């Protein structure tokens, strides 16, 4: 049976969370490290924006400062996500694995199956959209959760998990968010453009749901981590061994925190000091 590394759950700030994900990805390219699954949380609320997003047009920096929300640019694409009451996952693996394929959508489909298996264990029945759909007119389009992409998960037609991926040199990183709770007004407040706050919030409420809404507030991070890990094991036919960052991954993480994710040039403009 194939063995994957799983890293211990921890909460960190936005700079460290993104630096760890990229360090795992880049070191896997360099050394062909073991496939890795990581679950993590956010010590301080943060708005992550996609690699290609326009900070000035889609982020309300003043509202983020007022609410104590950090801003971070992800290395992956997609739209903005407010990370607050959620569990975040990251998968780093080779595209040449027999479990995946060079097709980027195949990885989304396989990982969504793993997540769906885990959610089913806590009574959350999902459906997978084989095709994406446009956000309804008036929806806050800067939000990742406003409409599902292909092979993302819905409950009752509402998106419950948002994911993004990058790949290079035969390795992919996919990370995503499972909301434990969702506040549409707070989400609208930190993203642009602002229109009618109640209308925008209603649109998001109709497009987005959370684990807590369907499984109850008794399902917290620990239980959700456990059932999701079991979902990965069952779908992929693998077993996990707990591991730590290697010394090389740790060193690269520290460098990325300083030179990239801790830099305003990166987070506002997408330019790092590397």
- 76 and 165 Cβ atoms separated by less than 8 Å: yes
- 158 and 69 Cβ atoms separated by less than 8 Å: no
Scored b (16 or more CB within 10 A) or e, 12-23 reads bbbbbbbbbbbb
Q: Is 114 among the residues known to form the active site?
A: no
DSSP per position, 195-241 = --HHHHHHHHHHHB--HHHHH-TT--HHHHHHHHHHHHHHHHTEEEE
Q: How far apart are CA 154 and CA 131, in angstroms?
A: 12
Q: What is the DSSP letter of 84?
A: S
Scored b (16 or more CB within 10 A) or e, 194-229 reads eeeeeebbebbeebbbbbbbbbeeebebeebbebbb
Which of the residues are catalytic?
A: 144
């Amino acid at each position: 049976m194939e063995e994957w590394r799983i890293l211990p759950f921890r909460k960190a700030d936005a700079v460290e969370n993104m630096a760890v994900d990229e360090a795992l990805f880049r070191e896997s390219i360099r050394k062909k490290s073991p496939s890795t699954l990581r679950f993590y949380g956010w010590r301080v609320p943060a708005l992550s924006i996609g690699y290609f997003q326009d900070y000035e047009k889609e982020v309300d920096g003043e509202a983020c400062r007022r609410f104590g929300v950090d801003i971070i640019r992800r290395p992956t694409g997609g739209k903005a996500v407010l990370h607050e009451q959620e569990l975040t996952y990251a998968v780093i693996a080779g595209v040449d694995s027999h479990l995946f394929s060079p097709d980027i959508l195949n990885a989304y489909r396989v990982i969504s199956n793993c997540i769906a298996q885990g959610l089913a264990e806590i009574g959350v029945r999902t459906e997978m959209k084989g095709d994406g759909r446009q956000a309804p007119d008036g929806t806050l389009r800067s939000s990742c959760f406003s409409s599902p992409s292909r092979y993302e998960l819905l409950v009752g037609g509402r998106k419950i998990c948002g994911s993004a991926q990058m790949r290079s040199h035969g390795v992919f990183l996919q990370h995503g968010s499972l909301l434990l709770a969702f506040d549409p007004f707070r989400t609208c407040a930190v993203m642009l453009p602002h229109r009618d706050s109640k209308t925008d919030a209603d649109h998001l409420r109709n497009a987005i749901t959370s684990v807590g809404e369907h499984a109850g507030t008794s399902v917290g991070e620990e239980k959700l981590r456990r059932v999701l890990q079991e979902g990965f094991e069952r779908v992929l036919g693998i077993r996990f061994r707990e591991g730590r960052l290697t010394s090389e991954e740790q060193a690269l993480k520290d460098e990325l925190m300083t030179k990239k994710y801790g830099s305003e040039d990166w987070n506002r403009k997408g330019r790092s000091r590397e």
